[in-house]
């Protein structure tokens, strides 16, 4: 599967108080090792923890990312503006 987001794309993310994230939500995360990343929720664990995955086969693995606490999620991606992609 190809990536959903590319360098130079823009996203708008929103964070509401007491938000309930769902499977499949695309979220903006402040990861302790990888910094600010965009991933998809693939599993919801106990105590407001989540497993995340990327849409591309070469994306950082769920195992490498580890469990993500809800406090590290900055918001749900609600809008995506793609930059033009030119083919030679």
Question: pLDDT tens across 27-85, in order?
Answer: 999 999 999 999 999 999 999 999 999 998 899 999 999 999 999 999 999 999 998 87
May I ask the CATH class of domain 10-81? mainly beta
Of residues 25 and 56, the one with the higher pLDDT is 25
In this predicted structure, what is the pLDDT of residue 2? 67
Instruction: Round to whole Å and give the CA distance between 48 and 66.
Output: 14
In 3D space, the residue among 77, 71, 70 whose CA is nearest the CA of residue 13 turns out to be: 77
In this predicted structure, what is the pLDDT of residue 88? 65
Domain ranges of the chain: 10-81
Containing 36, the helix (H) or strand (E) segment is strand 35-44
In this predicted structure, what is the pLDDT of residue 66? 96
């Amino acid at each position: 599967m190809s990536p959903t987001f590319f360098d130079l794309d823009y996203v708008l993310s929103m964070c509401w108080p007491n938000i309930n994230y769902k499977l499949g939500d695309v979220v903006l995360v402040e990861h302790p090792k990888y910094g600010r990343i965009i991933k998809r929720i693939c599993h919801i664990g106990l105590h407001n923890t989540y497993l995340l995955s990327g849409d591309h086969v070469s994306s950082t693995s769920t195992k490498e990312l580890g469990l993500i606490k809800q406090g590290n999620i900055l918001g749900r991606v609600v809008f995506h503006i793609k930059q033009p992609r030119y083919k030679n």
